[in-house]
Amino acid sequence: MSAQREKLSVLRHALRTRRPLPEIPQASPQFDLSRHVIAGGGGTSAGGNIGLSGTDGQASAGTTSSGGQFTVSGGFWQPETGAASTPTPTPTPTPTTTPTPSPTPSPTPAPNVVQFSSSNYSVVEACTTVTITINRIGNTSGAASVDYFTLDVTASERRDYITAIGTLRFAAGETSKSFVVLINDDSYVEGNETFNVNLRNVSGATLGAPAIATVTIIDNPTEPSTNVIDDPSDFVCQHYHDFLNRTPDADGLAFWINQITSCGADQACVQLKRINVSAAYFLSIEFQQTGYLVERIYKVAYGDASGTSTFGGAHQLAVPIVRFNEFLPDTQQIGQGVVVGQTGWENVLENNKQAFTLDFVQRLRFTSASATTMTPAQFVDRLFANAGVTPSSTDRNAAIAEFGSATNTTDVAARSRALRDVAENASLNSQEFNRAFVLMQYIGYLRRDPNSGPDTDY
């Protein structure tokens, strides 16, 4: 028995002094410890006491004095995890890197666009107008410009409306510009018709949307049984459209209508008055200083063109060089806002002339025909030669003097003044009068060049 006690003592010592049991993670704070105590000779022990001790967080464990197989149960005040080995040190948190701020980006400039105020316009058929508006959106701190032009769809510029071609110029801060397209009346039942207005050649901005606007001419519900041009009001209104490129002012309209209606029922008188009224538009100060001046400027700049005529047998002849698609926009530009008789019309006309001729002499066609390396005398002599006029020494010297002491003609303002001096020469005005009158029968009434179909000669 002493040997058994000694063996049990050794076993107790071993249990007390062995390294701690691993702390196994528990699903609940309870554990069971099973051990087998044997006697020194290998038999079953009759008894003995075994006690367990642990950490501060451990509850008291049970004890047993039983021999043989036994189980000791115990518990902890709170769950324990981890192993009995050296604990893994708590890692030092990685310092949060202070982000380097990205440079503040430069603000994107506000867009600067020009576009129509609407993609669709409409107007009831009559001798009237439709107003087209162009808006400028975004950064409007600088100047900008844009060209506009009309284009047939189902409506025709030869009968339904007057071609509109021009340039709108926005000063700094301006956000809206408008122009009118002249609408003609007719006696045809043809349903609604359309044409487009387009934008192009933007400067100082970009083209926005819409850049194309459609104009619908709403046909009259009923049409008169007679030709609308037989009506004095429509007859006079149409002449304002065809020759002066504008709507009639009230005083002018009333004056010319009265010229016809004063005949009463005398049809011979009416016919004569209609002829006189029509001719008066070509003879008017307004046309002489706009459309006729444009025709003379082209002659002075480029001379004559050569045309073919079959009248009296086929032959070549000198004809005006200006074409319908050149004459119309230039005449509209030089006549913009001019209404002879209204206060200040002279200043408007003079400003238009200066602006137009300054633009004209900077066109590639003109600089190619008359290089800036020419001397003032060479330049002026070239213009008079194109005009077919032998100038007086006074007229020639006055045109040359526009350049002062310069030895070349790079001064565009001086070029524009010299061009006007020659184009407004009295001899040229008289000499070119009949040719321009005939030309205007085609451009004004027929809305075409003399040699475009149906007849292709002069």
What's the pLDDT score for residue 455?
84
Count of domains forming the chain: 4
318 forms beta bridges with 306
Q: Using 50, 70 and 90 to split pLDDT, how confident is the model at 454?
A: confident
Phi first, then psi: give them for residue 450, nearest 5 degrees.
-60, -30
Asked if 197 and 213 count as a contact pair (C-beta separation under 8 A), the reply is: yes
Residues 125 and 249 in one domain: no
**Residue 170 scores a pLDDT above 60:** yes
pLDDT in tens, 159-169: 999 999 999 99
What's the pLDDT score for residue 42?
47
Residue 452 located in a structural domain? no
Residue 90 located in a structural domain? no
Q: Using 50, 70 and 90 to split pLDDT, how confident is the model at 28?
A: very low
**Residue 97 scores a pLDDT above 70:** no
Single residue among 49, 75, 101 that ends a domain in this structure: 75
Q: Using 50, 70 and 90 to split pLDDT, how confident is the model at 99?
A: low
Residues 385 and 424 in one domain: yes
36 forms beta bridges with 69
**Residue 88 scores a pLDDT above 50:** yes
206: CB partners within 8 A, 6+ apart? 111, 112, 113, 114
Single residue among 218, 243, 259 that ends a domain in this structure: 218
Asked if 3 and 41 count as a contact pair (C-beta separation under 8 A), the reply is: yes
Residues 319 and 439 in one domain: yes
Residue 14 located in a structural domain? yes
Residue 68 located in a structural domain? yes
Q: Which domain holds residue 256?
A: 231-270
CA 356/CA 338 separation, integer angstroms: 14
Greater model confidence, 328 or 458:
328
Q: What percent of the chain has pLDDT over 90?
A: 71
CA 420/CA 46 separation, integer angstroms: 142
CA 297/CA 429 separation, integer angstroms: 11
Residues 407 and 323 in one domain: yes
pLDDT in tens, 214-232: 999 999 888 888 899 999 9
**Residue 127 scores a pLDDT above 80:** yes
Cα 232–Cα 285–Cα 348 angle in degrees, nearest 5: 110
Q: Using 50, 70 and 90 to split pLDDT, how confident is the model at 457?
A: confident
Q: What one-letter code names the amino acid at 56?
A: D
What's the pLDDT score for residue 80?
43
What's the pLDDT score for residue 337?
95
**Residue 100 scores a pLDDT above 90:** no
Residues 428 and 300 in one domain: yes
Residues 339 and 422 in one domain: yes
CA 456/CA 422 separation, integer angstroms: 32
Residue 356 located in a structural domain? yes
Residue 397 located in a structural domain? yes
Mean pLDDT over 4-20 rounds to: 47
Residues 295 and 374 in one domain: yes
Residue 33 located in a structural domain? yes
* Mean of the per-residue pLDDT values of the chain: 85
Residue whose token pair is 């119309």 = 328
Asked if 36 and 64 count as a contact pair (C-beta separation under 8 A), the reply is: no
Phi first, then psi: give them for residue 47, nearest 5 degrees.
175, -170
Residues 376 and 238 in one domain: no
7 forms beta bridges with none
Residues 387 and 344 in one domain: yes
Greater model confidence, 75 or 123:
123
Mean pLDDT over 239-254 rounds to: 97
Q: What percent of the chain has pLDDT over 70?
A: 76
Residues 248 and 349 in one domain: no
Smallest CA-to-CA distance from 37 within 15, 12, 67, 61 is with 67
CA 85/CA 388 separation, integer angstroms: 119
pLDDT in tens, 363-401: 999 999 999 999 999 999 999 999 999 999 999 999 999
Residues 442 and 392 in one domain: yes
38 forms beta bridges with 44
Q: Would you tell me how many other CB atoms lie within 10 Å of the CB of residue 251?
A: 11
What's the pLDDT score for residue 311?
87
What's the pLDDT score for residue 225?
85
CA 127/CA 183 separation, integer angstroms: 6
Residue 85 located in a structural domain? no
- Residue 190 sits in a domain of what CATH number? 2.60.40.2030
Residues 40 and 157 in one domain: no
